């Protein structure tokens, strides 16, 4: 019993020590000023850019139609594949058209033989005219016959050419390099010029990037870039629907001469490469990044970087009065400073007024700063390099 009593006393003693230790740990230690990360306001170079909603459009688009009436015998392409200019895509029934060509060739040959005989007759009549046996009337008739046959030969040759053209129309070939759609008519059907589009062929590389912009923005861009070289002063980049920045760079090549009265916008167009991203494997189609009619974000960027007074975007706060930052003064106190922003980027806020070169601005731990209170400043972690936005 004595041992049991000693064990119970030890248990209560250890429990009391644990409770006392827990209370001691729960008491907060005297705290210092909140730690914040600061950056020094400095002049830096950024690439200015403007964002617009745009659409990808193929430069070339061909609707394949039948030029003659005939049975469709063969489709010689894989739907959705890329084809080359001159590739045979459809083959129509040829025998009737070949027969017409052969008939017209024979007609031309017959008329040429008759014309040769008429020329010989005319030559003999002209020779006899120099003698007492010749007559002018005979010569005139032979001249008329020769010229008539010559005209018939020209007409027959024209008919032959038309027949050869129609025979050529039985082979429907690709007029441009591009990707072809699914066929609208299958083998065994009769097609004609009124049958409509058999398939559509769209070019793939390069592509157009078409985007409307507000007239006011267009005038601002004109004033900014025309003195620097106009179209040559800007480049086009694309942000794809996935958020990825496309790795090819394009250039402007067209500005619409009219303004859309409904939206008060003007349309700009750029040309951008669309190379193969996944080479064609056995039985696999060619894959490119851009697709006709795809919606993208167009980034219009200046070619030459500009020098601006910049700070990280994370340092900028906003309220009903506008934008502001916390500046750390010589006594390490956080002070509110109202600022005005210029054309900024996703990572860099461009300051047009409110800050001076060399001042310290809180960019990390901004939520811990209070106006007029002391903070413990330290260097902020460097962010990514400035880029267009």
Within this chain, do residues 288 and 324 fall inside the same structural domain, yes or no? Answer: no
Task: Give the SS3 label for residue 105.
Answer: helix
Q: Quick count: other Cβ atoms within 10 Å of Cβ 263?
A: 10
Whether the predicted pLDDT of 19 surpasses 60: no
Count of Cβ atoms closer than 10 Å to residue 146 Cβ: 20
CA distances to 119, 158, 183, 231, 256 from 226, in Å: 72, 56, 47, 8, 16
Which of 305, 328, 350 finishes a domain?
305
- Looking up residue 188, the CATH number of its domain turns out to be 2.40.50.100
Alpha carbon distance 16, 39 (integer Å):
50
Of 250, 281, 305, the domain-final residue: 305
* Residue 233 and residue 289 share a domain: yes
Q: What is the mean pLDDT of residues 235-239?
A: 90
Q: Are residues 240 and 295 in the same domain?
A: yes
Q: Is the pLDDT of residue 26 over 50?
A: no
Whether residue 10 is contained in a domain is answered as: no
What percentage of the chain exceeds 70 in pLDDT?
Answer: 84
Crossing angle for the helix pair 95-128 and 136-168, to the nearest 10 degrees: 160
In whole angstroms, give the CA distance from residue 316 to residue 310.
Answer: 11
Q: Do both 228 and 107 map to the same domain? A: no
Task: Name which of 53-67, 131-145, 183-197, 249-263 the model is least confident about.
Answer: 131-145
Kindly tell me if the per-residue pLDDT of 127 is higher than 90: no
**CATH of residue 269:** 2.40.30.170
Q: Evaluate whether residue 29 is within a structural domain.
A: no
Q: What order do you get walking across the sheet with 88-92 strand by strand?
A: 171-173, 88-92, 70-75, 190-191
Provide the pLDDT for residue 272: 95
Tell me, yes or no, whether 72 lies in a domain: yes
C-alpha 373: how far from chain center:
52
Statement to judge: residues 80 and 188 lie in one domain: yes
Shared domain for 220 and 281, answered yes or no, is yes
Cα angle value 295/296/298 (rounded, 5°) = 135
d(CA 334, CA 377): 10
Three-class secondary structure of residue 292 per DSSP: coil
Q: Name the most confidently modeled range: 12-16, 49-53, 164-168.
A: 164-168
Q: How confident is the model at residue 387 (pLDDT cuts 50, 70, 90)?
A: very low
Domain boundary among 290, 305, 320: 305
By residue range, what is the domain housing residue 122?
95-168
Percent of residues, the chain, with pLDDT higher than 90? 37
pLDDT reading at 16 higher than 80 = no
Residue 27 predicted with pLDDT over 60: no
Confidence of residue 100 (pLDDT cuts 50, 70, 90): very high
What radius of gyration, in Å, describes the C-alpha atoms of the chain? 42
The tokens for 383 are 């962010």
Average pLDDT, the chain: 83
Residue 385 located in a structural domain: no
Query: pLDDT band at residue 179, thresholds of 50, 70 and 90?
Result: very high
pLDDT given for residue 286 in this prediction: 83
Quickly list DSSP for 13-40: HHHHHHHHHHHHHHSPPPP-SPEEEEEE
In this structure, are 293 and 210 located in the same domain?
yes
Q: Is the pLDDT of residue 14 over 50?
A: no
Whether residue 177 sits in one domain with residue 78: yes
The span from the CA of 296 to the CA of 66, in Å, is 35
Q: Which among 343, 356, 379 has a CA at the least distance from the CA of 309?
A: 356
28 lies in some domain: no
Q: Is residue 15 part of a domain?
A: no
Assess whether 284 and 247 both reside in one domain. yes
300 band by pLDDT with thresholds 50, 70 and 90: confident
Distance, first Cα to last Cα, the chain: 82
Is it the case that residue 119 has pLDDT exceeding 60? yes
Note whether 65 and 79 are within 8 A (CB): no
Residue 24 has pLDDT above 60, yes or no: no
H/E segment holding residue 112: helix 95-128
383 pLDDT above the threshold of 80? no
pLDDT per position as a tens digit, 194-218: 999 999 999 999 999 999 999 988 8
Task: For residue 271, tell me if it sits in a domain.
Answer: yes
Q: Are residues 176 and 289 in the same domain?
A: no
Q: 128 and 86: one domain?
A: no
Same domain (yes/no): 301, 210: yes
Q: Would you say residue 13 lies in a domain?
A: no
> Number of folded domains in the chain?
4
Between residues 280 and 274, the one the model is more confident about: 274
């Amino acid at each position: 019993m004595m041992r049991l009593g000693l064990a119970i006393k030890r248990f209560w003693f250890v429990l009391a020590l644990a409770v006392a230790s827990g209370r001691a740990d729960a008491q907060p230690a005297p705290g210092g000023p909140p730690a914040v990360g600061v950056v020094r306001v400095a002049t830096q170079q950024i690439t200015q850019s403007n964002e617009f909603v745009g659409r990808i459009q193929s430069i070339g688009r061909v609707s394949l139609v039948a030029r003659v009436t005939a049975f469709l015998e063969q489709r010689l392409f894989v739907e959705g594949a890329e084809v080359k200019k001159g590739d045979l895509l459809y083959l129509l029934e040829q025998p009737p058209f070949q027969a017409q060509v052969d008939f017209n060739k024979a007609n031309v040959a017959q008329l040429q033989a008759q014309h040769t005989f008429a020329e010989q007759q005319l030559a003999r009549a002209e020779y006899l005219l120099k003698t007492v046996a010749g007559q002018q009337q005979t010569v005139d008739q032979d001249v008329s016959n020769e010229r008539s046959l010559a005209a018939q030969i020209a007409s027959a040759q024209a008919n032959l050419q038309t027949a050869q053209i129609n025979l050529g129309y039985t082979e429907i070939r690709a007029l441009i390099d591009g990707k072809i759609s699914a066929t609208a008519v299958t083998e065994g059907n009769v097609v004609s010029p009124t049958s409509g589009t058999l398939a559509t062929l769209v070019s793939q590389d390069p592509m157009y990037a078409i985007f409307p912009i507000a007239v006011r923005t267009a005038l601002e861009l004109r004033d900014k870039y025309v003195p620097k070289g106009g179209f040559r002063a800007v480049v086009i980049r694309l942000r794809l629907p996935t958020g990825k920045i496309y790795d090819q760079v394009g250039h402007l090549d067209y500005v619409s001469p009219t303004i859309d009265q409904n939206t008060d916008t003007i349309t700009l167009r750029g040309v951008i490469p669309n190379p193969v991203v996944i080479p064609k494997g056995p039985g696999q189609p060619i894959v490119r990044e851009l697709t006709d009619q795809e919606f993208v974000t167009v980034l219009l960027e200046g070619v030459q970087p500009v020098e601006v007074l910049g700070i990280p975007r994370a340092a900028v706060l906003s309220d009903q009065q506008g934008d502001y930052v916390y500046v750390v003064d010589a006594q390490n106190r956080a002070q509110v400073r109202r600022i005005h922003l210029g054309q900024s980027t996703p990572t860099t806020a461009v300051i047009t007024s409110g800050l001076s070169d060399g001042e310290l601005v809180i960019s990390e731990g901004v939520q811990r700063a209070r106006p007029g209170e002391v903070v413990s400043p330290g260097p902020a972690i460097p962010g990514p390099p400035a880029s267009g936005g």
